Amino acid sequence: MRVLVIQNCSPSLPGVVGEVLVRRGVDLVLNDAERGGMPPADDDGFDGLLVLGGPMNAEEDHLWPHLPATVDLIRRFHRQAKPFLGICLGSQLAARAFGKKVHRHGAHERGFVPLATTEPAREDRLFAGLAPTQHLFEWHEDTFDLPDDGVLMLTGEACRNQAFRVGKTSYAFQCHIEVTPDLFALWHGNAADYIAKVDPAFPQRIAAEMPRHYAASRALCEHVSERWTDLVAERANGG
């Protein structure tokens, strides 16, 4: 099996999701869009699509020409019923692909935030069996309108649309389910000057949150990633 991974930003690595996919024998084909890699024009040769996060706005096509190409690719995978998984910016690009707007959120979400599973999530193949409330990692200032055919899976008090499904094979998470301590350290190292200006208490806050919530966050991501990999395998085998 081969999964195409769109890295909108070079430090946005697949984290726990990637670990699960590799453990299951999936070949990850990385596309580093920040360094000029344009996504392929079609889905040929790929069994799934993973679109990761990044600091850009989902509609900054004039600055990042790979964004509209990624949106088109999400639509193509969805039409072919090939599994798609979007994370953070990837979820915003998915909302755009399904006809909705991405816009500024009222406040930045940064750190581990309590999110609730919805009633439909309890019967969803990726979400069934999860605890009703999860503390998951956030790092975003944009949000999106839920697609008309979208089914809300996770919701938060400050930011409503945290995860959704469209159809049977397309999933999107605003939260960073893929985060690891090392991945967070990479992100924070790249943004340390910015964080010092806009949220100087964040390093102390996350130092307390990471040991408290990471194990459960990782368990959720492994649960979701295993089941998404099952979906990729089923579709690759004609299921």
In this prediction, residues 174-178 reach a mean pLDDT of: 98
pLDDT of residue 105: 78
The mean pLDDT of 211-238, rounded to a whole number, is 97
Could you give the CA distance from residue 136 to residue 76 in angstroms, rounded to a whole number? 29
Mean pLDDT of 171-178: 98
Which pLDDT value is given to residue 238?
A: 86
Tell me the per-residue pLDDT of 61-98, one tens digit each, with 9 for 90 and over: 999 999 999 999 999 999 999 999 999 999 999 999 99
Q: CA-CA distance, 239 to 233, in Å (whole number)? A: 8
- Count of the separate structural domains present in the chain: 1
pLDDT tens digits, one per residue of 27-65: 999 999 888 778 888 889 999 999 999 999 999 999 999
Would you say residue 202 has pLDDT above 80? yes
pTM above 0.85?
yes
- Give pLDDT tens digits for 102-126: 988 777 899 999 999 999 999 999 9
Q: What confidence score (pLDDT) does residue 168 get?
A: 96
**Helix, coil or strand: residue 203:** helix
pLDDT at 228: 98
Residue 37: predicted pLDDT: 79
Phi, psi of 24 (to 5 degrees): -85, 5
Structural domain span for residue 100: 2-236
* CATH (domain of 113): 3.40.50.880
Report the percent of the chain where pLDDT is more than 70: 100
Rounded CA gap, 162 and 65, in Å?
26
- Is pLDDT above 80 for 138? yes
Least confident of 8-17, 65-74, 161-170, 189-198: 189-198
Q: Which of 127, 120, 122, 90 is nearest to 15 (CA)?
A: 90
